[in-house]
Every structure is written in structure tokens, then in C-alpha cells.
Structure 1
Amino acid sequence: MTNTHREPPTSVPAERPSSGLPGRPGRRTVVAATAASAALLPLTGGTANARTAAAPEFLHGVASGDPLPDGVLLWTRVTPAPDALPGSGKGGPTSVTWEVAEDEAFSKVVAHGTTGTTAATDHTVKADVRGLAPDTAYWFRFSAGGVNSPAGRTRTAPAEDADAANLRLGVVSCAQYEAGYYASYRHLAGRADLHAVLHLGDYIYEYGHEEYPLEGGAVRTVQPEHETVTLADYRVRHGHHKLDPDLQAMHTAHPLIAIWDDHEIANDTWSGGAENHTPGVEGEWADRRRAAKQAYFEWMPVRTSTEGNTYRRIRFGRLADLHLLDLRSFRDQQASIGDGDVIDDPDRSITGRKQLDWLKSGLSSSTARWRMVGTSVMIAPMAFGSVPAHLLGPLAELLGIPKEGLALNVDQWDGYTDDRRELLTHLRDQRIDNTVFLTGDIHMAFANEVPVKAATYPEDAPVATEFVVTSVTSDNLDDVINAAPDTVSSVAEAAVRAANRHVRWLDMDSHGYGVLDIDAERAQMDYFILSDKEDRGATSEVRRSYRTLSGTQRLEKADGPLAL
């Protein structure tokens, strides 16, 4: 039976989680955090009960992102009046004060300031705070008209020359609102051991209500109910997502590091259009892309590296660099399925020349122990030709490509082989080791070794490793074929592994998140899966753990998950 639940356009309580400063609870493999709404405490100061209908409110929570050794980006959205809803264009100019403190009680404020916001930025607020101490946890909040926002916790990055003991990131991707609840976010919010959460794209989806393939119908209803095309549409969609209590809890607990994929704009976005955009019917592509990007930068705690894109670099002391890619703004149009001449064309690019040069230069000049690359789509080669015919159609539907036959996914790096060859050859020829690609998009979990030439693997040694996380909620194979997990899909998984010897492990059915831990000796990913994505209170457990040891570019199954 379809469980359709429409949430109101406003009124998520302005509350915060009760977790303290980062610590290390005892080891466990099953995370069964209580529901975020039950774990929230009233805002310090007790101002919520004194609010009037006309008083400013912080309905969409608070967030932080892009940590630096001396600072962090703070975010919120103020609702200055009841009718000043996201995308409405209503509400007057509002002055918002922010403060950062060493303690939850805000008795030791170390930075503060005031900024203004208007309907021109949808009453969103960003404060790029500097002058903080490295590798330090802080509390932050906003206020307007005598009303305090929820209090959030954030953390700065280690100093550039610091020998950080470890780096631990939550890793997520593909959170289709109507396909389930955000229990993954709730579990990440409940962890006190994370330095940040890395979101690899598809934070929102552009589709209207039940337009996206959903077996059995929508679990809940997204707003607006029609497809997002205009600036107001994208603002409403972002605002509606940030009313979700589990999403708010994650943002409140940890800084976010995010890149976009296609659905923040439209399915299979490329520089000049998208599969899910019809010029004339849905307006000009340039207008839609501009609107989607404007709303994204208004509503996300993300810095732009250059105007209108998300590629940038974040350093975590001498331990790790994180190179974040934008694989939608500069790519050429996807090739037709099976068109080998086109996918090998050296004039076609997924990154654009400037970004690829930037990445190669950054990898070569890095002095960090580990080089992480956040890529929204899979870089390891992936052949599907040996999958049984009856599963090719469902896989094609899942991947959003034609169902006539599935040899490869041209929306991934597989469709831009010259860029991939140049990048991987650079890693090999420059003897750049300890490169780990972190990937989303495909709604499945993979642990891959990445060779320059997959056809001659393992004789052609890998030059990198890749951890691909599954979706938070978006449909994967068992959802599409309406089968029990780990039944029919096991045939497809075996076929994919047989055709791709560099794939050490994959899971086509589960939903969840990853936790990546890096220290001087190894990088390890724990793959967490949910008990039921349609259950807001779903539990979480480790499905598998893989690691790569420093200097090897090889993967091995870890003895067990990381201690909390």
C-alpha cells in the first residue's frame, strides 16, 4: 500500500540536537539512533514560546560548511514574516546577527557579526567566518528581531602543516525526497566522531510528484508538486527539503562539504542542456541552469571556487587533500549508447580543459599523505554486457539510459574515456600514490580498484582506488524490479564482477551511507545500510568494510568496521 504523506510548507520546530563536543563512544557495528525529533532539546534562551506571528523565525535550521583551518561558512534562512516563504519574493530587508562560541551555552563567544538579507537572496544568510583556531569544535547561532536560531556545532580543519591523526567523514549521495525518509542523515547526526559530511550530489531532485520512477508510489510528497524549472521552483524545493528534521539534524551536527550532480538542475545535465529539459516547453536552458545554480548557492553552505561552479580544494593538514569536482558545468553532451568513436573522442570532455588541468596540477603538487577526489559519477570502467537480458532493462531504467541494450553508462567517465585516460596516466607517470576517488550517483555501492587499462587488469596495476556509496533513498535495482533485496540482484552482481575484475565488491540493493576514515597507514570505508528506507526510524548496520593500505593502490576487505 502506498503511504503518501504531504508535509506542511512550514512549521518544523526550531530545535537542535543535544550532542556534545566530539568524542569517541564505545565500538559498535549497529547504529540505532533515536529519531531526530525525539532527540531535540528546546533552544537555549527559551525564546520560542515568546514568538508572535509576526516575529522572525528560523524554520529551516542552520548549517555550516567548507571548513578551513581558520574558519567555516555558516548558513541559515530567516523567515521575517509568515508570508515570506521560500520562493515567494515576499518579506522586507532583515538584519541577522551571528555568533560563534567555544561552548554550547555561548558564554565564550569568539566571533560575531551582523549581515543583512532580502528577498533577492530568498532571505538566506551566509557568514564566512575567519580568525578561528584550527581543528577545533565550535557552536554557532543566528538571531533576528530578538529571536535566536537553533544552535549548531561545527569544526575547523587542521592547520596546513599539522600531522592530523585521522580524518573521518560521513559520505552520502542521491536523496530523492519522495522515495523514502532521511534516516541516513539522522544516523550521521547521531555520531560525535565525524569531522564533516561529504555530499556527492543529488541533494535534491528536480522531478515533480511521482514523476521519478517510484515502485509503489511516493512515500511522501515533495514541494512544489510540479517539476522545478524557475528560480522560485528551485527555492521552494530547497526550502522544503530543509524542513526535514533528519536533514536539519545532520546540518546542525556537522559541517557539510558538497558538490552537485545533475538533479540539482535536471537529469543528465551537460553544459548546453539536459536529458530532462525540453527547450521551448520548459524555457531556455541557460535560464533554467542559472536559476538552479542561484538557488543552490543561496540554500547550501558551499563556497564557489569560481563564479557558478563547485570545483574547489579543501586541505586537512598533512594528512589529506580533498579535490572536489564539478562534472556538470563544463562537460560535452553525453554520447549515444554504444558509440565507441564518440566516447573516445579527445575533443570531448567531462571536466573541461581548465578543470582537468587544475586537478592534475593539484594532485602533482600535493604534499598530503592522501589525495581524495570527490567525483559525482563513477570513474572506474564498468561493463554491463554480461548481465542477463531480463535485467538489462531495469538497470537501464535505474541508470536513466536507453533500454535497447546496456554496454556502458555514458553519463559516467565511461562516456569520456580520453579525459579518464589522461588523468589516470598522469597518476601513473607522475607516480602519484594514495589517490582515493569518492563517488555517488549510481544508487549502488562499489569498492573498485582503478587501472589505466581495465582490459589488462590485474597485470595492468591500479593507479587509484574508488569507494562508491549507495543512495540515501533513490531507487536501486531491487526497487526497480520489485524484488526482495539480495535475491534477483545477486545474479546481476555476479555478472558485473565477472566482467569487471577490478570491482572488488558491489551491492545493488541497499540504501544508506558511508563512513570514511583516513590515517597515515590506510583509508577505510564502512558501508552502512538501512533496515528500510520507507521507515523514518530505520536502523543502520555495517554491510561491508574495505580499505586501501598506504602505497598499494589495492583494496582489501577490512577485518571489521571502525570503532566509534
Structure 2
Amino acid sequence: MPLREIISARLDRRTVLKGSTAAVAATLLTTAPARAEHVVFQHGVASGDPLPTGVIAWTRVTPNADATPGSGVGEAVTVRWEVATDDGFSNIVASGTQTATVDSDHTVKVDISGLRAGSDYCYRFTALGQTSPIGRTRTAPDTAATPDRLRFGVVSCANWEAGYFNVYRHLAARTDLDAIVHLGDYLYEYARGEYGGRTGSVRVHEPAHEIVSLADYRIRHAQYKTDPDLANLHRQLPFVCIWDDHETANDTWSGGAENHTPGAEGDWQTRKAAALRAYLEWMPVRAGADRRLYRRLRFGTLAELSMLDLRSYRSQEVKAGPGWRQVDAPDRTITGADQMDWVTNGLVSSPVSWKLIGNPVMIAPLVFPPLEPATTAALTQLIGIPEGGIPVNLDQWDGYTADRKRLLDAVTDNQVGDVLFLTGDIHTSWAADLPLDAANYPGGPTAGAEFVVPSVTSPSLGDMMRTPPRTASLAAEAALQSVNRHLRYIEMDSHGYGVLHVDAGQAQMDWFYVSDVLDPNAGVRHGASLAVRRGGRVEQRPGPVLD
């Protein structure tokens, strides 16, 4: 969800940041062959969800010119896949075939097994006499191994119309990453021109209308896969992804969404099912039983990464003002009962050093001001202010305080150490300790830490205020930190990414910011570095981790 609620008035989603659309066409992923012929692999390759002995490999074939994504036409195609230890494929270690059909929009997703743990591989696909680009991937360390370190690129919120994906270009240029963790809003559902950047839309969405049907979602996924920087990053590294709201519709909850009008846009469950089906077709993710997206990946004894789905099972967001009283209700949930049991049981039983949680929306309290529950019960009852204070953004865990308490209490009651939430969603950068009682921080106990990465392109606070970077936003940052002392770092202007380094002694997030999302060749700079030691709290670091 965009950072609209930090501004004094929440703007209507159909008017916020509307602007003129620029006539910038989408760039095709592949270079046309020397002779004019149909290109079979127009949407690249990708890998994801690495295990010690396997990985997901993905592609999409276009059987003929009419068999475009979402078209529902095109013959079945036999696709051969190969995995090798070298890019010349002289040592092929796994291979097979799969049939791409209309039913899966001609996407191919192979769950490859039998590979060696902690190893690099190349993979490719062949169909109709053509060969795909070569992808590179990496398996996870053996569960009994203790790697010296892990390093993940961490990203969130990439809006095609708001700018160019140069964040992905800079991540692809690195040679030290094990995987990319994508925390949601991989794509946006809006119609053309409805939600662009600070100058409107720099390139336009396909289809032109808001995506609602299965064909619509397939077309939009396909468009994003043609971005050359995203395609290159997918070729270079495995992704671990979870969805947030825009993969379906803004402010999604279990029974609807803010950006869904029943009747005019059809039945919500039908739309949600279409979005999920397209997501599973087009993304290199390994779904669980009942097409469940929340899942856990193990990286030796050093770390475990639990990816949370905070949209499919949540209660409807309450409204500010009179609705504040409801945020503390014990029956409100952001995870759903089954997922809450899954994540708490996993944390309590985890045998690894670092318990990482891929968390689409911010869990650290963000309130004005934090109130002491023991002394404010009367005020809470009288005017409906939640026990923790007035929440800034009810779409976050602040709108579901009972679930947050359940999760953090499970951590502290069971003495689970070294829990770190990796978060996206709000288009800005944050680092925070997670106090059980924000009003008593730093005196009370904490249940872990949280690092929040900025958006790839989606509008930041500075973009929305239309002010020069590092000017008006400074006052907002200072005001938030003055009443939320557990917030150790805030940067509300810049777009970029995080690089998470984990070793036996600490977990450090390095924030990197691109110079301008409107420039496809934008440079990058280091913004900040913060870390948490084993058993400790968030601390500043002078610079990024270097090998």
C-alpha cells in the first residue's frame, strides 16, 4: 500500500497522483534474431525458492504470433529443460520435458530436484527450434551446514508507470548475492495513468484498463517480465517472493479490497482467484497445500526465512477515528489462525541462528504518541484511542494489535532470540527495534528487530509532497522518531533496495538509493547501514559490509 496515510488526508485512490501518460513503449526482453522469425522465449527465464537439493525454474513460450499472454490460444508445446554446472552445458546434471499449454498461459514451471547443496548452476529451455536465455541459479546450503555468511538483495513495490527499474539493474551487477527477496507489489493493478510517479506515467501499463480478469492479470504479469532490468536480474539470481496487495488490488483483505467495486468489477473471490492463478503461473514460487503462499526456506544452520502472506486471511481494515477502538479487538487478524500457528510454532522450534521473516507490511508500532496502557485505560475507553496510541497506518500491523501481541509474546515467552523482520510496502526506509511496550522503550523488553526497504519506483513521501529530496521530509522523520523512540532510522524520500548480510555475529542491512527513477541509466549510492548483533538491538554502522 502507498504511504498515503502518513499525509494528513487520505486521498481517493482514483485521484491520487494521476498524471498525463507518456508515450513510452515497453521494451522487449529479447533481441530480435538476425533473420525475421518468431521469438519463442519473449519473457525470459527465472528461478526461485532454492532448496538444498533443488530450485524452481520458470519460463514462458509463445508458440505463434497470436498466442500472446492472456489470449487463450496457441497449440501445446513440448519444452525441454536442462541444468548444468557450466554455461556451455558440457556437464548436464538434470534434464526433462514439460508441456506448455493454454491452461497455464503457456508458462512452464519445473520443480527441479537432485541437485547439490550450496552450488551454482545454469539452466535453459528449448522449444520449437529455439533456446531460451541461459539462467543462473544457486541451491541453498545443506541443512547441517553453517555457511560463513548469507547475503540477500531485498526489494519491494515496483510500479511500471512510476519509473524505470534501475534498482534491478544495480542488483544484477553485484556478484555477492545468494538470492533476491521480493516482499510484494511486484506489479500494480491500476489502469493507465491512475497511479504514476511524481511527473505522471513515464511508461504505460498493458492492458490499458485496471486488471480484473484472469486474462488481464496474465497480460500485466507478462508486461513486467519484459522489463530488461528485471529480466536480467531474474536470469542472474533465484527470487524468493511473496505477494502484498497490488498483485490483486489495493488494500486487499480476505473478503474484498479498497480497490474493488462489487458488481462493477465482478465478484471479489473470482477476481482474487484469477490473481492468484496468474501469480502462480508467472512467478517462480513453490506453493503449498491449497495453493498456500506462506512458506519457509532453510539456509543451513545460519538462517531460516519465513515468508508471510498478510493479505489472503486478514480482517477488513478499520477506519480511522471511530474505528480506532476496534484495532485492539482480539478477533481481528492479519495472518489468519492457521498461519499464526505456523509462524509462531516455526519460530519456537527453529534450530537456526537467525529467524528471518519476510513481512509485507510494517510490524513496528508507528503511533502518535505511544501511550502507557496501565495509566491510559480510562482514556482508551472514553474516546476509543487504542492502548498503544493513535496509529498512523491501519493497513499495517498497527491495525491488528492482537495478532502482533500474539506473535511477539510467542517470541519473548519462549525466549526465541535473533528474530528479524524484513519489510516493504510503504515506499520508505526504516530500521526499528520491536518493543513489547513502545511507551517504555528502551527500558522494556524487545522481541526482535525490523528493517524496511524503500520502493523500487512507487511514490515516496517526497514524491507525493512534490518537494526536493531531504527537505520537507526531514521534519516528518524527526517528528515520528521523537514519539516512537524504537525507530532507529527513517528515510522518506529515496527509492532503492536493501542488501541484507547475515553471519554468525550479526545481521546488517545496507540501504542503497538510486539517483532518479525517471532516468533508466540512474546511478546508485550508499544511504545507510544498521545492524543487530546476536541478542542485541539495532545499531548504526559506518558503511556497508564488504568481502
Task: Return the TM-score normalized by structure 1.
Answer: 0.88
Q: CA deviation at 1:6?
A: 3.0
Query: Which of these residues, 82, 95, 110, is aligned with residue 93 of structure 2?
Result: 110
**Amino acid in the other structure paired with 1:52:** E
Return the alpha-carbon distance in structure 2 between the equivalents of residues 224 and 6 of structure 1. 14
Unmatched segments (≥5 aa) in structure 2: 1-18, 371-389
Write out aligned runs for 1:17-36 (5 A).
Answer: none
Contact 2:162 2:196 in 1 (8 A): no
Deviation digits for residues 298-347 of structure 1, max 9, x if unmatched? 00000112223310000000000001100001001011114333111111
1:502 aligns with 2:486: yes
Deviation digits for residues 376-399 of structure 1, max 9, x if unmatched? 00000002569xxxxxxxxxxxxx
1:422 aligns with 2:406: yes
**Amino acid in the other structure paired with 2:123:** F
Deviation digits for residues 85-130 of structure 1, max 9, x if unmatched? 1111111100000000000111110000000011111100011000
Detail structure 1 runs of 4+ shifted over 3 Å in the superposition: 48-51
Return the alpha-carbon distance in structure 2 between the equivalents of residues 206 and 114 of structure 1. 33
1:249 aligns with 2:266: no
* Structure 1 SS opposite 2:169: helix
Match of 1:52 in 2: 37
Query: Which of these residues, 307, 312, 319, is aligned with residue 336 of structure 1?
Result: 319
Q: CA deviation at 1:457?
A: 1.0
Match of 2:542 in 1: 559
Write out aligned runs for 1:57-96 (5 A).
Answer: 57-96=40-79
Aligned CA distance change for structure 1 residues 276 and 498 (closer, same or farther; 3 Å) = same
Match of 2:376 in 1: none
1:532 aligns with 2:516: yes
Deviation digits for residues 502-542 of structure 1, max 9, x if unmatched? 00010000000000000000000000000101111111111
Match of 1:25 in 2: none
Query: Which of these residues, 21, 24, 44, is aligned with residue 6 of structure 1?
Result: 24
Q: CA deviation at 1:215?
A: 3.1
Match of 2:497 in 1: 513
Write out aligned runs for 1:74-153 (5 A).
Answer: 74-153=57-136
Match of 2:252 in 1: 269
Query: Which of these residues, 444, 461, 471, is aligned with residue 460 of structure 1?
Result: 444
Contact 2:30 2:42 in 1 (8 A): yes
Aligned CA distance change for structure 1 residues 213 and 59 (closer, same or farther; 3 Å) = closer
Query: Which of these residues, 278, 285, 289, is aligned with residue 272 of structure 2?
Result: 289
Q: CA deviation at 1:562?
A: 1.2
Match of 2:212 in 1: 229
Return the alpha-carbon distance in structure 1 between the equivalents of residues 488 and 72 of structure 2. 51
Identity, % of aligned positions: 51
Match of 2:160 in 1: 177
Q: CA deviation at 1:214?
A: 3.5
Return the alpha-carbon distance in structure 2 between the equivalents of residues 407 and 354 of structure 1. 26
1:490 aligns with 2:474: yes
Aligned CA distance change for structure 1 residues 187 and 214 (closer, same or farther; 3 Å) = closer
Aligned CA distance change for structure 1 residues 14 and 153 (closer, same or farther; 3 Å) = farther
Return the alpha-carbon distance in structure 1 between the equivalents of residues 238 and 81 of structure 2. 16
Match of 2:463 in 1: 479
Return the alpha-carbon distance in structure 2 between the equivalents of residues 14 and 126 of structure 1. 23
Match of 2:533 in 1: 549
Q: CA deviation at 1:49?
A: 3.8
**Amino acid in the other structure paired with 2:478:** A
Write out aligned runs for 1:387-398 (5 A).
Answer: none
Task: Return the TM-score normalized by structure 2.
Answer: 0.91
* Structure 2 SS opposite 1:307: helix
**Amino acid in the other structure paired with 1:89:** G
**Amino acid in the other structure paired with 2:164:** Y
* Structure 1 SS opposite 2:57: strand
**Amino acid in the other structure paired with 1:561:** P
Deviation digits for residues 56-112 of structure 1, max 9, x if unmatched? 610100000000000000000001101111111111100000000000111110000
Contact 2:369 2:484 in 1 (8 A): no
Match of 2:342 in 1: 358
Q: CA deviation at 1:480?
A: 0.6
Aligned CA distance change for structure 1 residues 3 and 279 (closer, same or farther; 3 Å) = closer
Contact 1:14 1:61 in 2 (8 A): no
Contact 1:14 1:59 in 2 (8 A): no
Q: CA deviation at 1:244?
A: 0.4
Contact 1:309 1:329 in 2 (8 A): no
Return the alpha-carbon distance in structure 2 between the equivalents of residues 466 and 205 of structure 1. 25
Aligned CA distance change for structure 1 residues 284 and 419 (closer, same or farther; 3 Å) = same
Contact 2:138 2:238 in 1 (8 A): yes
Match of 1:301 in 2: 284
Q: CA deviation at 1:145?
A: 1.4
Match of 2:387 in 1: none
**Amino acid in the other structure paired with 1:196:** A
Contact 1:363 1:432 in 2 (8 A): yes
Return the alpha-carbon distance in structure 2 between the equivalents of residues 188 and 368 of structure 1. 27
Contact 1:448 1:504 in 2 (8 A): yes
Return the alpha-carbon distance in structure 2 between the equivalents of residues 2 and 274 of structure 1. 26
Contact 1:526 1:545 in 2 (8 A): yes
* Structure 1 SS opposite 2:216: helix
**Amino acid in the other structure paired with 1:104:** D
Return the alpha-carbon distance in structure 2 between the equivalents of residues 494 and 371 of structure 1. 30
Return the alpha-carbon distance in structure 2 between the equivalents of residues 290 and 377 of structure 1. 22
Contact 1:14 1:150 in 2 (8 A): no
Q: CA deviation at 1:50?
A: 5.9
Aligned CA distance change for structure 1 residues 444 and 129 (closer, same or farther; 3 Å) = same
Contact 1:98 1:113 in 2 (8 A): yes
* Structure 2 SS opposite 1:241: helix
Q: CA deviation at 1:464?
A: 0.4
Contact 1:14 1:149 in 2 (8 A): no
